[in-house]
Structure 1
Amino acid sequence: MELPAGVAAEGSAHPVHRGRSIGPESSTALGAIVIFAATRLIDLGEFRRPLAFRHSEFILTSATCRSALIFDILYGVLLGVALSVAEMPARIAVPTMPSWSWACRASP
């Protein structure tokens, strides 16, 4: 009995293309192409910008990138947002230098 196109046999571990199972060599080549394309999308030079701005921004950026690679894009971004919200009270509690100088000039 022949299976319709796009349907795998019971217990088949390989993807199906036009009714035939794709072999492990083809899956390996496809994986290599996907990894190559993903590395071309990431510009490592852009990781220097948060480092020049603030060290905590670089930590947030790298933690979000790593968690997206480890846990999947949705959970990685959610973890990055959660880390950013968790860091927010620290930013609010310690004012930046320009506001310190303004506060020192305003006090008698």
Structure 2
Amino acid sequence: MERGFGVDPAALSAYGTTASGLADEVAAIGTATLSGVDALPADSFGRIGEEVGLGAAFREAARAQVDGVAAAAAGLSALAGEVSRTGAAYVEQEARHSADFTRAYQG
């Protein structure tokens, strides 16, 4: 049985690409679905609703949903980028180590 640590750079690259696409989809769908949800007029729940702040509370909750979707998309996009960069950094590090071992062996 093989022991040790291994990294699959192709899997990291594929994950980064997939996650990036998902981030774009979350942003697009969230923006389209929630577009205008926070644009209710102050009196949309009637005079009593306006007096007690129901419209303002709804707009605030709707804005939080819009902001939450944007934050989720941004977080997923950042994760995708970091995973891709990690894979690339691992490949570069392995190439440097290989060159170092080759030089040490020859020198």
TM-score, with normalisation over the residues of structure 2?
Answer: 0.30
Higher percent of residues as helix: 2
